[in-house]
Amino acid sequence: MSTATTPAPAAVSTAPEHGRTRLLRWWPAAVLALLIVAPWSALPLPGLLDGPVGSPGSLQLLATCLLFGALATGYDLLLGRTGLLSFGHALYFAAGSYATNMFLLEAGLPFAAAAVLGVCFGAALALVLGSVSLRVTGIGFSMVTLAFAQAGSILVSRDPGGFTGGEEGRAAPAELLPSWLVGIDHTANLYWIALAYLVLTLAVVHRAVRSPTGRVWEGIKENERRVEVLGLKPYGFKLTAFVLAGALAAVGGLVHLLLTGGSTPQTTTSDFTLSLLVMVVLGGTGTRWGPMVGGILYTWADHRLGDLAGSGAVADLPAVLRVPLSQPLFLLGVLFVAVVHLLPGGLARLPSRLRRTSEENR
């Protein structure tokens, strides 16, 4: 990420201050361009990735990171923008994945139709359950969403009628998917799909938050009572946020289905929602880039720390150090607690905090 934030050094040194900031404003476009061309790159990033950037393994990991970055951004629509603490976001993600898979496997629909119907199913589920859950507020809302998600999780793992495949999950039918989405040779296509999903989510969230509805969301987050006093009914606005976030999550489920080649019951668990929560808080709630950074960082760390544990550097350490270091979730949990304590606002607030500290010291 950080490699692309610096524009051409010559321009920086000669341009006046405002010119520099204008150039700096274009860093997302530069990052996006870098991400688009990444599959053609053979650049090795030792430590960060196992193989060169363009290798299928690295692209798979990068795509997963982008997917979760997008998912966290969508979840922040509830947590950071509207102030709704939902513990059931995994349900809509899993609904997108499982429903699309079902439409392919059981109804034998072509992929495009199944994908559209799957996402619609996820959005409809969010609409129905959201309209029920939002009747209660505060911790009650969190509990109802948790209960619905848990019910979904139990349903999926009990495998009613052999539809969901129980604990094993269900593989997507390779013969029904377009050939350019299947197989290790086409990982780059999946990577671009994940990237497109991230761009879509960022754009939707950005637009939604800037819209009049988005301003009401901010009001609800700050003080719901005052929004009511202004003559607005928070219920409808909260439901809009819930359905929008649910629909984005369902699209994410679809991307996950393609990326992993199947639906797994792990995506329905409350642990999955909690990991989304960790990503968003790690990155910074209610910020434009924070949730994305948190999601990417968390997913990368979750995958890479496991490999690190298997490496010689850790294996030679005494047991006191080796055991905690070999558990990615332990490290992430501790990191999360540390961020909550020491860095309120998450990683996204880090630059401004550093700037303030350096100005104070000056």
Partner 1 sequence: MSTIVLLTMTGLGLGALYFLVASGLSLIFGLMDVLNFAHGALLSIGAYGTWWAASGQLPGAGPGGWGFALAVLFGTAVGTLAAVVLELAVVRPLYTRPREQVLATVGVGLAVPALLSGVWGSDARTFPGPEALSGTFALLGADVPVNRLVLVAAAVVVLVALRLFLGRTRHGLVVRAGVEDRAMVTALGIDVRKAFTLVFAIGGCAAALGGALGGLYFGSVDPRQGTSLLIFAFVVVVTGGMGSVTGAAVAAVVIGLVQQFANYYTAAGLGDLAVVVLLAALLLVRPRGLTGRLA
Q: Which 60-99 positions form the footprint of partner 1 (CB under 8 A)?
A: 85
Q: Which is nearer to partner 1, 109 or 126 (CB)?
A: 126
- Out of 215, 330, 353, 357, point to the residue binding partner 1 (CB under 8 A): 330
Q: Pick from 111, 83, 122, 125: which is nearest to 219 by CA? A: 83
- Work out how close the CB of 266 gets to partner 1 at its nearest, in angstroms, rounded to a whole number: 12
Could you say whether residue 343 binds partner 1 (CB under 8 A)? no
Q: Both tokens of residue 350?
A: 């880090």
Q: Which residues contact 117 (CB under 8 A, 6 or more apart)?
A: 99, 100, 103, 109
Tell me the number of residues near partner 1 by CB under 8 A. Answer: 41
Q: Both tokens of residue 249?
A: 């999550």
Q: Which 266-285 positions form the footprint of partner 1 (CB under 8 A)?
A: 270-271, 274-275, 277-278, 281
Stretch that binds partner 1, among 115-123, 214-222, 238-246, 327-335 (CB under 8 A): 327-335
CA atoms of 262 and 362, how far apart (whole Å): 55
Q: Which is nearer to partner 1, 91 or 190 (CB)?
A: 91
Q: Which is nearer to partner 1, 143 or 188 (CB)?
A: 143
- Work out how close the CB of 159 gets to partner 1 at its nearest, in angstroms, rounded to a whole number: 9
Could you say whether residue 350 binds partner 1 (CB under 8 A)? no
Q: What percent helix, strand, coil does the chain show, rounded to 5?
A: 80, 0, 20
Q: Both tokens of residue 352?
A: 């401004």
- Work out how close the CB of 94 gets to partner 1 at its nearest, in angstroms, rounded to a whole number: 16
- Work out how close the CB of 213 gets to partner 1 at its nearest, in angstroms, rounded to a whole number: 24
Q: Which long-range contacts (CB under 8 A, 24 or more apart) does 104-107 make?
A: 104/172, 104/173, 104/176, 104/177, 105/170, 105/172, 105/173, 105/176, 106/163
Could you say whether residue 239 binds partner 1 (CB under 8 A)? no
Could you say whether residue 321 binds partner 1 (CB under 8 A)? no
Per-residue binder mask for partner 1 (CB under 8 A), 152-171, x = binder: --xx-xx-------------
- Work out how close the CB of 55 gets to partner 1 at its nearest, in angstroms, rounded to a whole number: 29
Residue with tokens 């938050």: 209
Q: Which helix (H) or strand (E) holds 171?
A: strand 170-171
DSSP, res 326? T
Could you say whether residue 132 binds partner 1 (CB under 8 A)? yes
- Out of 334, 352, 355, 357, point to the residue binding partner 1 (CB under 8 A): 334
Q: Which is nearer to partner 1, 308 or 329 (CB)?
A: 329
Stretch that binds partner 1, among 47-55, 117-125, 134-142, 296-304 (CB under 8 A): 134-142
Q: Which is nearer to partner 1, 45 or 132 (CB)?
A: 132
Contact 69, 196 (CB under 8 A): no
Distances (CA, A) of 107 to 114, 171, 244, 253, 261: 9, 15, 27, 19, 18
Q: Which is nearer to partner 1, 257 or 277 (CB)?
A: 277
Q: Which residues contact 259 (CB under 8 A, 6 or more apart)?
A: 60, 63, 64, 67, 190, 193, 194
CA atoms of 286 and 303, how far apart (whole Å): 26
Could you say whether residue 25 binds partner 1 (CB under 8 A)? no
Contact 62, 191 (CB under 8 A): yes
Could you say whether residue 122 binds partner 1 (CB under 8 A)? no
Q: By the criterion CB under 8 A, which residues form the site for partner 1?
A: 85, 132-133, 135-136, 139-140, 142-144, 146-148, 150-151, 154-155, 157-158, 270-271, 274-275, 277-278, 281, 323-324, 326-330, 332-334, 336-337, 340-341, 344
